[in-house]
Structure 1
Amino acid sequence: MSGLLCALESPSPVGLIRASGQLSFTTSVELRAVLHKALAEQPEGIAVDVSGLSVDDDLALTVFSGFASSAADWSACPVVLFAPNPAIAEALDRLAINRTVPVYRSQAAARAAISEAPPVRRYRRRLSATSAAAAIARELVAEACQAWAQPDLVDDAEIVVTELVANGVRHAGGDLRLAVTRGRRFLHLSVRDGSPVVPVAKLPDPDGGQGGRGLILIDALAASWGSTPTSDGKVVWATLRLR
């Protein structure tokens, strides 16, 4: 057994995670995966219950500050902790983690802080898996870029979102959920679908197959991209650096 239990108990509007047991550099990988799963649900904020957490090395707690920085860059999603025991609270203060990840006494206080934070800047659209989906996605991306004073990003963002949507239409079927989010340093594009199959970038097939070619284009244009499992499938996402 790993000694760490962590689970996403409520995905939205606030992602509630409960973490208990022994946090170490090894088990922090599990915690980070749950944190990213919560972020993929596109919440208004993420609150982590650390009341049952202990550490064998205080530096393992930097998993929270590292994740909070990523969440801010990608989507400006606030991340907070609540109900630490005295030893954890002291370590969070000594390592200055509480300067970037606010810490509260209770879940109610954590939720209140998230509700008072500036709202996440995000455009959403549900898309039918049809040939028209990509054009609708491009329109939404262009609208978002113009609203956020990022006109130079429109062309690349439209190409990337076209490939994300096309991948979902081709492989997942069913409705897609598109989100365009402005973070601190990046524009974050994501398409959620009902298939758990992880996309893989592939070189062009000499026999004419198309699968995976669009992901190579995304890889060339995006600062980063990837896939995160969700409760009902996955989110395929890409980030582009703001200009």
Structure 2
Amino acid sequence: MAQTRTTPQPTRLTTDGHVPRSTRVGAGLGIAGVVLLLAGFALMAPGDAVHTNTTAKIVGYYSDPHQTMTFTGGLLSCAGLLALLPFMATMTSRLGGSGTPGEVFGATARMSGAGYVMLCLAPSQAAGAAALWLGSHGGDASTIVALNTLRAFTYYVALLALAGFLAALGIGGLTTGRLARWMSWSAVAVGTILAAGVAVAQTGLADIASIVALAWIVAASVGMLRRPETVPVSDRG
């Protein structure tokens, strides 16, 4: 019996060898990560856990007997942070194969992005979870406040890592032409504002800039979903 051999169709690649499907997956996870982070923050409602609040407010937040929503919010936030890793890997991989600037800034952005995620998970989220456990088990007030302070200041350090990711990615995009110009310039601008906001965190600028950074991730993800191919140098507008 004659057999018909089917020749597999080659997978369509972008101009620098990346598969559009994987790019869209990374972009989709970027949007999903932001949604999960915002949902988690809304469920945790950590207004009373601000490190500048009184000890009574901080301990009261962690000692609340109804912590189901808080724990759920924490888990959603952790899932959102992990979802950002493929997005960051997708973005930084677009700088690869473009010579020394792309390799240097791409690697810097990748490490900074991973640092942001890891710092947010531990010790930041881990310290908050430990404070919740102590609060629900009659833990010492000073220990709860110390863990909450560790959570807060680790978050600020993590924002510096996120600023490094944005700045390195933006500079790499500008020097290699592998990203749309609006994406590169806005990444540098948001990263700079975020770093400055951490320096004056008491003004609330860091919180505003972090929301803008999440909005940038959504905008960049939408841009990659619409155009997963690497942007040619002559068409970076």
Decide: shared fold, TM above 0.5: no
Q: TM-score, with normalisation over the residues of structure 2?
A: 0.29
- Determine which structure has the larger helix proportion and give its number: 2
- Determine which structure has the larger strand proportion and give its number: 1
- Structure scoring higher RCO (CA < 8 A, sep ≥ 6) equals 2
